[in-house]
Structure 1
């Protein structure tokens, strides 16, 4: 695959990873302590399935930060930082892409693409930490109660994969070899 195509594919995958982390942050389904209840980063929801054609959902924000479990408190901070870092990576990737003329030199273009790849990998690790922590917490708490992983965690796992894969593709676009503009001339040996 050509370096320009690799950069474009990496940038598209990373953009989808950033969008997935935004969706994962917004969804109120990080974990389900009961069958009719779910907890998210910003609110908890109760589902009422007694109304058959159309079940009702009642969501409310947390009363205080202390009402939120410790893993979800840390996940709030890390996911928001990961989204900010990911958006910065998108901006750097668009500026340094081969499809734009914002950077004049192709060697500098490749370096900017590598920098955006590193930023996307950092964003992926920042999403990976809360997703893993919440998954491990759910696994430990499921012995005592019926805890299940919610849809936001599954979207978070996919986002981690897309961010790291896209960042790796961007990092694999090496800069071109430095070409010299001058000719090398050797002096002739003296005759005997």
Structure 2
């Protein structure tokens, strides 16, 4: 029963991590990190991402333009690009490592300690991946809030607002951290169970030796 519960928890954790990794990759390339709705022209909505700025027109669809230079970007967008790449890479590494450490995978059945270490390492990588996904999203959100409430900017000037990609990034980071925590919990429960089994076996052996004497 405990083995079935641990296996189901591992599968749930790996599914959460897979979902978080896919959403993290999607967040990296979505152009809706910031939205700008011009009150003078409500038919146009400007959006900005890590790679391009787009304008959405009611009649003409979406037109986007890539940023000309990485060095010309604001600091939060520069660091966000790097951190999102790190998050995606760590998430992929975590999927590969933890996949080989799952109990339902028949490969390496005789090397249980190695499988647990791979699962634990994968869970830790998912934690770091989740944090590195949440940090850039939260940083861009923080700068957006500061600029929105900046009293030095006249009220007539349009302000950037939160884009949909920020919420996708927050959810991705949450899924990665949750999935990594579930995987690590199964490793800890397996270690505790094996320790109790070894203790019970040793106690029974001591009792048998006492009876024989």
Common topology (TM > 0.5): yes
Give yes or no for the alignment of 1:32 onto 2:41: no
- Deviations along 1:72-101, whole A, 9 cap, x unmatched? 111000000110000000001111011112
Give yes or no for the alignment of 1:124 onto 2:137: no
Give yes or no for the alignment of 1:150 onto 2:189: no
Mapped partners of 1:113, 1:132: distance in 2: 29
- Please give the TM-score of this superposition, normalised by the length of structure 2: 0.79
Mapped partners of 1:63, 1:111: distance in 2: 44
Task: State which drifts further: 105-114 or 36-45.
Answer: 105-114
Which secondary structure does the structure 2 equivalent of 1:63 belong to? coil
Q: Which residue of 2 aligns with 1:45?
A: 54
Alignment gaps of 5+ in structure 1: none
Alignment gaps of 5+ in structure 2: 39-44
- Deviations along 1:4-56, whole A, 9 cap, x unmatched? 1111100000000000000000111111244421111111111222x2xxx42
Mapped partners of 2:210, 2:26: distance in 1: 67
Task: Give the alignment partner of residue 14 of structure 2, picking from 11, 16, 30.
Answer: 11
Which secondary structure does the structure 2 equivalent of 1:67 belong to? coil
**Matches of residues 85-96 of structure 1 in structure 2 within 5 Å?**
85-96=90-101
Aligned residues: 185
Task: State which drifts further: 179-188 or 167-176.
Answer: 179-188
Mapped partners of 1:148, 1:103: distance in 2: 50
- Please give the TM-score of this superposition, normalised by the length of structure 1: 0.87
Task: State which drifts further: 77-86 or 111-120.
Answer: 111-120
Mapped partners of 1:38, 1:46: distance in 2: 6
Q: Which residue of 2 aligns with 1:133?
A: 139
Mapped partners of 1:73, 1:99: distance in 2: 41
Q: Which of the pair is proportionally richer in helix? A: 2
Mapped partners of 2:62, 2:6: distance in 1: 48
Q: Which residue of 2 aligns with 1:68?
A: 73
